[in-house]
Structure 1
Amino acid sequence: MLLVTIIIVYIIIALVLVIGLLLNGVRPSKTLAWLLAIFTIPIGGVLLYLLLGRNRRKNKLFNQKNIHLDDTSSEINQMLAVNDPSSLKTIKLINKTSSYPLTYQNQVRILKDGKETFESIFSTLENAKHHIHIQYYIYEDGTLADKLLQLFKKKVQEGVKIRLLYDGIGSYSLSKKHIKDLQNIGVEVHQFLPFRFGRFLSSINYRNHRKILVVDGEVGFTGGINISDKYITGDDALGNWHDIHSKIQGKAAGYLDRIFVTDWYLAGGEKVEFSQHSIATPTEQNGMEVQIVPSGPDDDFATMEQVYFSIINNAKKYLYIINPYIIPNHAILQSLQTAALSGIDVRILMSSSTDMKVVDWCVRAYFESYLKAGIKLYLYPDGFLHSKVVISDDQIVSVGTANLDDRSLQQNYEVNAIIYNNELCRNMKEDFLQDCSKSVLLDLETHQKRPWRIKVLEGSAKLLSPLL
């Protein structure tokens, strides 16, 4: 009798999920795959769907429309203008999907690798007067964390308000002792989507991958670098970690602060009045045009995917990409191939290996598709290249946290800074080409001769691409 009851309950649950799939499924192929899983894998199919398959753009973790932040800026509804009219489509797209406008007269400094980045961060933190907002996917114990703790203690004593937000899974190794030490000196700490049994199925697959640090609403940092000693000392497996971060002074930093304030509310239910930290005034008359792009599973549109898609499709001369985790969906892959086949100089720079073997196999499963289309693929041999950068046509640069994979584009909370500046683009292009000159250029014929065992591993890993 108990077995019959369990079967009936399971069938009811499965039917409810099937109806939800039919109503909310995005892609027919994906919907069909989940239907087959639910009906052919007893219990496991339902659990897998609840864990990995739900459409978060329909069933949101958080309803951000209910979050009202006081904002003294009038730029949200401003008329769009930019020095380069060809970027106008991307600017309008970002403004429409995220309501984050183009900002003017910012100072932007590109920071390469951990040493330069943390020197700039610590120098900026020393000058904090009102507040420090710090948010990282990975925040772990070590020398960097200890140095920050000592600096935070000093700044709290000076009357600076410090709020720290970390991801519950990415920062799983952060010790309770260090968190307690932060709280004891007066730092407010929240965990974003903590690992809890009650919310396990609904939240474990959706992480806050953002790296944001804002001082006084006037100076902001974002990019690929986390709070981890490996960005200074490297690690035994991969050697030196190479990454690109950005320091932004001006109105764009205020919009990074806005993202933090929103995430802080989502994590702890505590509203920080945004009017306390009004969008910063321009720092210089002839600064750079910058647009901040937040994205996440609660958005109505896949904003970051659309932004990358727009940059790729609008490229006219060249498109250079640095990214460790390029596992493209059909739209991104086709747009890259179309650009290369149309005569655009498309180059991808990535590490010879990644920090996860299965991910490495999956990334490599797409190499042949790139090479056949004429995309130049470079493998960087010196350590691990963790940067997330796109450069195009001496006109537009994207620096941020989002990889080119389903996890970043569909499931994670991410943030990128889009910079429209000719001189910065040219400088970053030269740096990119210099790194390419140190790297191994793959050719199609050699790549096709790799052992069949490797091909099987890559093909098998490719099946997991929506989950990686």
Structure 2
Amino acid sequence: MVNSVLDHAFSLHGLLALLGLGVYVTGSRTLHQRRHPSAAVAWVLALVLMPYVALPLYLLFGNRKMVRRRERAELAAAKGSSGAARTGPLEPLAAALGLPPPACYARLQIHEDGAAAAEALHAGIARAQREVLLSTFLYGRDAFGEALAEALAERVAAGVRVRLLIDGVGAWLGGHPDLRRLEARGIEVRLFVPPLRSGLRGRTNLRNHRKKVIVDGHWLWSGGRNLAAEYFTGDAHRAAWLDLSFDLEGEAAGQARALFERDWAFAQGQEPPPPMPRDAEAPGPMQRGGVVQPCPKLQLIPSGPDQADDTLFALLVSSFFNARERIVAVTPYFVPDETLLLALTLAARRGVRVSLVLPERSNHRLADLARHRALRELAAAGAEVRLLPRMVHAKAVVVDEALAFAGSANLDERSLFLNFELMFAWAEPDDVRRFAAWIERQAVGAHPYHPRHPTLMREVAEGLLLWLAFQL
């Protein structure tokens, strides 16, 4: 009798293990999911040893892609002007990744600080005539959030449609914004994959980290700031963080609008809308004396589960391997995968100036601990690491005089492989220099990182954390 029960248990265990491995292999191959080696090993071991626990967890959290490769062209919904050719240092890789074509932009403003960012945001919203679209990871239940809600309510009263998309986890982390009060003011609010309430529409660990505000389809405000007090000027309870945002006009805003519509539809469990035609009011090539002048262009880089490839990761790695003079980056969390770290260390070893600006202590202590192994490798290769004695939340990378990246993504595995992120890349030399100068101004007062040989316990702790780096 006992042997029969044991045989049955082992048979059930083996059946579940085979089923779990089959689901893992099929999902990984069908969705072409790149995995960190430690994550792959962890899933395989768990599915073999504890299939009854691991299989439900894998079905809930294991898949990180939601599109197939044949769908990669859909994000080119808002195209640039019909006569614009794809040009720039990111081509042809951006085209191969299915990213939208480079888009015209005008009047780029890089906000020097939180006060300038808030002023630009409120001024842009005040000009709205038709619609205001806002996407944020979290919305603060604070004085900043209240003032923004008042500004949005004023536009609603003027007949402007206002939609606000908040990440489901971010809504909780941001102090539970009063969604009913926002909706009572006429603001349409949706939560993006709220935990335990999203069904099969998304995985709880795949978060929407994109930050953007689009007004009338032709003005864009974006960057790394969430819509809460600490990301701007702070308040009585929280000091202001160092962050980066910008605003601009042009076709790039139309592309960001198309991306918002896809995210909005996904949050409601609907099919993405058809490609949106280029906004008639978006400025294209300028005309002077009847002659069409070329306009500056940027590359919009959506990254995440809705992209068939790891778009930002691919563009960063390619840019780092091609760097000749400098790679300067600012990020709150630095937990790169092995490939990105290799690209940076090899650049430093061949004489490229590699410089990172980080917070001495961030708001995520586990990420701070996990970063030290990578920082020691970079320091040994000759890279420069500068630590600021305040919280840094800005995200930007400058490569040579050729490229500047800025937006919502951190240089960590969660941003590069799990989150829905939005970055932008500029190739105009003047704008690249402006982003580089902004980073250098903010780095004043930083002190150098001095690596220390870790104790055995610390090294073990770092290694364990790196196994969880996707989730940090």
Shared fold per TM-score greater than 0.5: yes
What's 2:21 paired with?
18
What's 2:289 paired with?
none
What's 2:385 paired with?
377
Bigger shift: residues 330-339 or 281-290: 281-290
Per-residue Cα deviation, 1:30-50 (whole angstroms, up to 9, x for no partner): 434322122234644334433
Give me the whole-angstrom Cα distance separating, in 1, the residues matched to 2:36 and 2:74: 36
What's 1:289 paired with?
297
Maintained 8 Å contact 1:106/1:282: no
Q: Name the count of aligned residue pairs.
A: 455
Compared with structure 1, are the counterparts of its residues 342 and 44 closer, same or farther at alpha carbon in structure 2 (3 Å cutoff)? same
Give me the whole-angstrom Cα distance separating, in 2, the residues matched to 1:196 and 1:431: 41
What's 2:471 paired with?
467
What's 2:332 paired with?
324
Q: Say whether 1:310 aligns with 2:318.
A: yes
What's 2:432 paired with?
425
Q: Say whether 1:80 aligns with 2:69.
A: no
Compared with structure 1, are the counterparts of its residues 18 and 343 closer, same or farther at alpha carbon in structure 2 (3 Å cutoff)? same
Per-residue Cα deviation, 1:352-390 (whole angstroms, up to 9, x for no partner): 011111111011232111111111111112x11111100
Give me the whole-angstrom Cα distance separating, in 1, the residues matched to 2:50 and 2:128: 55
**Identical-residue share of aligned pairs (%):** 25
Per-residue Cα deviation, 1:405-428 (whole angstroms, up to 9, x for no partner): 221111111100111121122233
The Cα of 1:458 is off from its aligned counterpart by 3.0
Give me the whole-angstrom Cα distance separating, in 1, the residues matched to 2:335 and 2:47: 26
What's 2:363 paired with?
355
Give me the whole-angstrom Cα distance separating, in 2, the residues matched to 1:248 and 1:97: 25
Give me the whole-angstrom Cα distance separating, in 2, the residues matched to 1:296 and 1:184: 32
Compared with structure 1, are the counterparts of its residues 163 and 43 closer, same or farther at alpha carbon in structure 2 (3 Å cutoff)? same
Alignment of 1:32-111 (within 5 A): 32-41=41-50, 43-54=52-63, 56-57=64-65, 60=66, 65=71, 73=79, 75=81, 78-82=84-88, 87=89, 90-111=90-111
Maintained 8 Å contact 1:75/1:101: no
Maintained 8 Å contact 1:70/1:275: no
What's 2:290 paired with?
none
Give me the whole-angstrom Cα distance separating, in 1, the residues matched to 2:23 and 2:436: 46
Maintained 8 Å contact 1:214/1:253: yes
Give me the whole-angstrom Cα distance separating, in 2, the residues matched to 1:73 and 1:31: 37
The Cα of 1:435 is off from its aligned counterpart by 3.5
- Counterpart residue type for residue 44 of structure 2: L
- Counterpart residue type for residue 327 of structure 2: L
The Cα of 1:322 is off from its aligned counterpart by 0.6
Give me the whole-angstrom Cα distance separating, in 2, the residues matched to 1:368 and 1:271: 44
SS of 2:213's equivalent in the other structure is strand
What's 2:141 paired with?
141
Give me the whole-angstrom Cα distance separating, in 2, the residues matched to 1:153 and 1:5: 64
SS of 1:385's equivalent in the other structure is coil
Per-residue Cα deviation, 1:189-243 (whole angstroms, up to 9, x for no partner): 1111111257389611101110010000111011110011112454899843000
Maintained 8 Å contact 2:75/2:99: no
TM-score by length of 1: 0.87
What's 1:120 paired with?
120
Maintained 8 Å contact 2:404/2:425: yes
Q: Say whether 1:398 aligns with 2:405.
A: yes
Per-residue Cα deviation, 1:133-171 (whole angstroms, up to 9, x for no partner): 000011121112111221122111111111111100111
Compared with structure 1, are the counterparts of its residues 71 and 48 closer, same or farther at alpha carbon in structure 2 (3 Å cutoff)? closer
Bigger shift: residues 268-277 or 144-153: 268-277
Give me the whole-angstrom Cα distance separating, in 2, the residues matched to 1:141 and 1:210: 19
Give me the whole-angstrom Cα distance separating, in 1, the residues matched to 2:72 and 2:433: 42
Gaps of 5+ in 1: none
Alignment of 1:431-442 (within 5 A): 431-442=438-449
The Cα of 1:286 is off from its aligned counterpart by 7.0
Give me the whole-angstrom Cα distance separating, in 2, the residues matched to 1:277 and 1:144: 31
Q: CA RMSD in A?
A: 3.2
Compared with structure 1, are the counterparts of its residues 126 and 20 closer, same or farther at alpha carbon in structure 2 (3 Å cutoff)? same
- Counterpart residue type for residue 317 of structure 1: E
Per-residue Cα deviation, 1:218-275 (whole angstroms, up to 9, x for no partner): 1101111001111245489984300001112111111111110111111112866734
Per-residue Cα deviation, 1:55-91 (whole angstroms, up to 9, x for no partner): x33xx27999499799574647842234xxxx1xx13
TM-score by length of 2: 0.86
Maintained 8 Å contact 1:134/1:163: yes
Give me the whole-angstrom Cα distance separating, in 1, the residues matched to 2:55 and 2:277: 45
Compared with structure 1, are the counterparts of its residues 310 and 61 closer, same or farther at alpha carbon in structure 2 (3 Å cutoff)? closer
- Counterpart residue type for residue 163 of structure 1: R
Per-residue Cα deviation, 1:316-375 (whole angstroms, up to 9, x for no partner): 111101111111111101110111111111111101011111111011232111111111
Compared with structure 1, are the counterparts of its residues 464 and 272 closer, same or farther at alpha carbon in structure 2 (3 Å cutoff)? closer
Alignment of 1:189-338 (within 5 A): 189-196=189-196, 199=199, 203-234=203-234, 239-268=239-268, 269=270, 274-275=276-277, 277-278=279-280, 280-282=282-284, 288-338=296-346
Of 316, 320, 340, 2:348 maps to 340
The Cα of 1:315 is off from its aligned counterpart by 1.3
Maintained 8 Å contact 2:75/2:259: no
The Cα of 1:95 is off from its aligned counterpart by 2.8
Compared with structure 1, are the counterparts of its residues 395 and 188 closer, same or farther at alpha carbon in structure 2 (3 Å cutoff)? same
Compared with structure 1, are the counterparts of its residues 176 and 323 closer, same or farther at alpha carbon in structure 2 (3 Å cutoff)? closer
- Counterpart residue type for residue 328 of structure 1: P
Per-residue Cα deviation, 1:112-131 (whole angstroms, up to 9, x for no partner): 33221111000110010111
SS of 2:97's equivalent in the other structure is helix
The Cα of 1:456 is off from its aligned counterpart by 4.5
Give me the whole-angstrom Cα distance separating, in 1, the residues matched to 2:49 and 2:104: 55
Give me the whole-angstrom Cα distance separating, in 2, the residues matched to 1:318 and 1:435: 18
Maintained 8 Å contact 2:77/2:255: no
SS of 2:363's equivalent in the other structure is coil
Give me the whole-angstrom Cα distance separating, in 1, the residues matched to 2:73 and 2:328: 37
Give me the whole-angstrom Cα distance separating, in 2, the residues matched to 1:28 and 1:378: 27
Give me the whole-angstrom Cα distance separating, in 2, the residues matched to 1:277 and 1:61: 27
Compared with structure 1, are the counterparts of its residues 283 and 154 closer, same or farther at alpha carbon in structure 2 (3 Å cutoff)? farther
Compared with structure 1, are the counterparts of its residues 71 and 308 closer, same or farther at alpha carbon in structure 2 (3 Å cutoff)? closer
